[in-house]
């Protein structure tokens, strides 16, 4: 059985202004908006109401009563923006929270109230938090949105309606409790129907003929015979887990335990669906109303709790619990199917399919950032700068094979660096070279390897490459651009061997 909590804010705009500007406390002020060439009051403070000024009054009339009254422009859709902000804050108490313009919020509390010790404590906790923040509000819980809306605004008994008892709870309420148009409400009062109980048992055909289909729709929604849906401010992800803490969490070990518990439940669900996690987001809702966010990503889909817990462990120091975190929400923001590789009878070289490698890369990404990890694959070019490119992912493959006939350096400069070289005669390797003001004496050398320019892409000289090892055992990849010239030969350093 579904249960809904309706929250009614008595004076939303003025409460918000009083929170932001405490100096206005106990002062008369109003919010205004232009309507039909007149400036009309849309909301008033309690002090203004005490002096006989209410919403719907013209500002000129209000100033005649209270000359020094303060007036503020009612920003377009400000009510909605404020309700959305409050609704997002209330997501900590339920994953389904929707705004109810112009002055309410509806929460689907099904399966949530037991986390706070039952519906009574659940309602008191939420209203208490809002009251502490400075908002005057009331609320009610029942089986239907319509009944909760009515009791929150017009009920004078228990705000919690037992399951199946919304019919009795509505009997003594006025027709406006059904959220009817003003025209229908006036017609009902003219006929003497000042309470819902006086017409609730009339035949449906009679009510439809006299008051239209809206009457039956609203009545059915309040009683639960007509369906009514919510549009949440935040759509719940397909794979999301929540952990409400009995006591606010502040310590690192407690946060680690919470993460492991959430991961255990989430990974079990993913495994049953044959899915693995590629990225996840952990939100911590603090006592002061702020939300901490922590994100992780993986190179391959996985549902291994131990590995994912280690990735979050690297980010725990970034979580600021402040006075304590009362709710954790773990969301799998991206999932992918897991394709289990066939195991071999004897051990071999799994290469990129090695789960250990993928997990190592995930941990490194968590420490130094994913942008610091690169994988390259070969391209069909002879010119060294064009012979490789960054891979899109760990799984990307290409039919082009790596150059194996002649070794290539592990680290290659993005742009070859000019060096000063002493070479004996043409086609002989250098005897020494100077790079960054350091003289390197060549102990061993191999080459040359001639690589011609790709004329269909760019015009220029060929290159003669040499592998050089200096007297300290360091190995370099250098080349001479074009043919040897006694007056000037251009030499460059292009890479470093391990």
At 308, give phi and psi (nearest 5°): -65, -35
Q: What is the mean pLDDT of each run of 10 residues along the chain (498 residues)?
A: 92 84 82 84 84 87 88 80 92 92 92 88 93 92 95 90 92 92 90 91 90 92 92 88 88 92 93 91 89 90 90 88 90 86 54 70 77 82 86 79 84 91 84 93 92 87 93 94 78 92
Please give the structure tokens belonging to residue 68: 């020094």
* Confidence (pLDDT) at 340: 63
C-alpha 102/C-alpha 99 separation (Å) is: 8
Sole residue written with tokens 């849906």: 229
**Of 337, 367, 399, which residue constitutes the final position of a domain?**
337
What token pair was written down for 398?
């290409």
Closest CA to 285 of 77, 115, 82: 115
The pLDDT assigned to 245 comes to: 87
* Residue 288, domain member (yes or no): yes
Q: Looking at the 3D structure of the chain, how many domains does it have?
A: 2
348 in any annotated domain? no
CA distances from 419 to 206, 228, 475 (A): 99, 77, 15
Domain boundary among 337, 368, 385: 337
DSSP code of residue 474:
-
Would residue 220 count as lying in a domain? no
pTM of the model: 0.66
On whether the CB atoms of residues 80 and 233 are closer than 8 A, the answer is no
Q: Would you state the pLDDT for residue 345?
A: 43
Both tokens of residue 189?
A: 């009062």
- Distance, CA of 105 to CA of 98 (rounded, Å): 6
Task: Match 């309420």 to its residue by tokens.
Answer: 173
Q: Choose among 111, 143, 134, 116: nearest CA to 6.
A: 143
Element (H, E) at 137: strand 137-142
DSSP 200: T
Half-sphere exposure of 264 (CA within 13 A, CB side): 7
Out of 337, 357, 388, a domain closes at 337
What is the pLDDT at residue 346? 47
Evaluate whether residue 428 is within a structural domain. yes
Q: Is there a domain that residue 86 lies in?
A: no
Spell out the alpha helix ranges (H) of 93-229: 119-132, 145-154, 166-170, 182-190, 204-211, 213-223
Domain range holding 492? 411-496
To the nearest 5 percent, what fractions of the chain are helix, strand and coil? 35, 30, 40
**Cis upstream peptide for 171 (omega within 30°):** no
User: In this structure, what CATH number is given to the domain that contains residue 272?
Assistant: 3.30.1490.100
- Each residue of 22-47: pLDDT tens digit? 888 778 888 888 887 888 888 888 88
E strand or H helix at 282: strand 275-286
The residues pairing with 58 across neighbouring beta strands, listed in sequence order, are: 40
- The pLDDT value recorded for residue 344 is 54
Residue 378 falls within a domain, yes or no? no
In the structure encoding, which two tokens stand for residue 126, read together? Answer: 């939420």
Residue 261 lies in a domain: yes
- At 391, list the tokens: 């891979």
Examine residue 27 and state whether it is found in any structural domain, yes or no: no
Q: What pLDDT is attached to residue 471?
A: 93
- Rounded to whole angstroms, the Cα distance separating 106 from 74 reads 24
**Token pair for 334:** 């991206």
pLDDT of residue 293: 92
Token pair 């039956």 is found at 216
């Amino acid at each position: 059985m579904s249960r809904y909590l309706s929250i009614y804010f008595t004076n939303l705009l003025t409460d918000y202004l009083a929170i932001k500007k405490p100096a206005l406390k106990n002062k008369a002020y109003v919010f205004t908006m232009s309507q039909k060439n007149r400036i009309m009051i849309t909301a008033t403070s309690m002090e203004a109401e005490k002096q006989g000024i209410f919403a719907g009054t013209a500002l000129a009339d209000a100033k005649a009563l209270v000359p020094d009254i303060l007036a503020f422009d009612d920003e377009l859709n400000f009510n909605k923006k404020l309700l959305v902000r409050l609704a997002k804050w209330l997501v900590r108490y339920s994953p389904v929270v929707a705004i109810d313009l112009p002055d309410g919020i509806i929460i689907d509390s099904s399966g949530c109230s037991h986390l706070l010790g039952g519906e009574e404590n659940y309602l008191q906790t939420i209203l208490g938090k809002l009251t502490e923040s400075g908002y005057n509000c009331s609320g009610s819980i029942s089986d239907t949105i319509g009944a909760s809306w009515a009791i929150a605004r017009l009920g004078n008994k228990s705000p919690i309606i037992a399951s199946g008892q919304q019919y009795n709870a509505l009997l003594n309420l006025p027709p406006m409790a059904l959220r009817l148009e003003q025209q229908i409400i006036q017609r009902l009062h003219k006929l003497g129907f000042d309470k819902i109980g006086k017409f609730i048992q009339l035949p449906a055909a009679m009510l439809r003929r006299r008051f239209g289909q809206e009457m039956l729709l609203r009545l059915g929604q309040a009683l639960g015979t007509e369906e009514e849906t919510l549009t949440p401010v935040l759509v719940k992800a397909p794979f999301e887990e929540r952990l409400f803490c009995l006591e606010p969490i502040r310590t690192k070990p407690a946060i680690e335990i919470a993460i492991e518990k959430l991961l255990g439940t989430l990974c079990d669900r993913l495994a049953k669906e044959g899915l693995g996690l590629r990225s996840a987001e952990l939100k911590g809702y603090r006592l002061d109303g702020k939300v901490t966010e922590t994100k992780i990503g993986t190179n391959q889909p996985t549902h291994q709790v131990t590995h994912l817990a280690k990735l979050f462990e690297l980010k725990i120091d970034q979580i600021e619990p402040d006075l304590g975190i009362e709710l954790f929400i773990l969301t799998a923001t991206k999932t992918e199917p897991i394709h289990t590789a066939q195991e071999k009878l004897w051990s071999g070289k799994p290469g990129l399919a090695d789960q250990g490698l993928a997990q190592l890369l995930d941990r490194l990404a968590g420490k130094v950032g994913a942008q610091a990890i690169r994988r390259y694959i070969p391209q069909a070019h002879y010119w060294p700068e064009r012979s490789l490119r960054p891979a899109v992912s760990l799984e990307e493959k290409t039919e082009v094979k790596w150059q194996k006939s002649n070794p290539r350096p592990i680290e290659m400069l993005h742009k070859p660096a000019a060096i000063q070289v002493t070479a004996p005669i043409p086609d002989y390797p250098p005897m020494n070279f100077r790079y960054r003001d350091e003289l390197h004496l060549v102990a061993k050398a191999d080459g040359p390897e001639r690589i011609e320019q790709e004329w269909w892409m760019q015009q220029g000289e060929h290159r003669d490459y040499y592998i050089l090892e200096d007297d300290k055992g360091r190995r370099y990849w250098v080349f001479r651009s074009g043919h040897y010239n006694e007056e000037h030969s251009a030499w460059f350093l292009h890479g470093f061997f391990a």
